[in-house]
Amino acid sequence: MLADSNENSQDSRRGRRPAKESHADSYRARLVTWRQIPEEQRPSLRALAGELGTTHQLLNSYLKGLSKWQQQEYHRKAQVIRDKGWGMTYAEEQQMLAYDRAALQVIVDDALEPIFQRLETRENR
């Protein structure tokens, strides 16, 4: 009987967590903060994973899609405000525009990053 209860509890833990139990958004938010620290001063991704109690592999996976997630988050936040329609205050309108600009900035940064990296490697030669 005990073996059956162990099997059932293991089966319930298999697969993906429900979205409401996921730590993905908090990990991504922490990665955004981590990425803003100058490279020579920030801890390694492995150290960050240890601090968050997750794996380097998972954080690396989130890091690869971080810009796209960040852009979608800004658009989502702007849309929440936009959905208020005529009931939106001036401050909310300004916040909505700031989110839209931030989403655009993420797109521009992603496009320019490879160019800046090439220029930086040329300088170091």
What average pLDDT does the chain have? 85
More confident call, 1 vs 47: 47
Over residues 31-46, the mean pLDDT reads 91
Counting Cβ atoms within 10 Å, is residue 66 exposed (0-12), middle (13-18) or buried (19+)? buried
Give the model confidence (pLDDT) of 52-106 as tens digits: 999 999 999 999 989 899 999 999 999 999 998 888 899 999 999 999 999 999 9
Query: Residue 110 has what pLDDT?
Result: 86
- The rounded distance, in Å, linking the Cα atoms of 43 and 41 is 7
Over residues 16-37, the mean pLDDT reads 84
Q: Is the pLDDT of residue 118 over 70?
A: yes
- The rounded distance, in Å, linking the Cα atoms of 82 and 76 is 10
Report helix, strand or coil for 65.
coil
- The rounded distance, in Å, linking the Cα atoms of 56 and 20 is 22
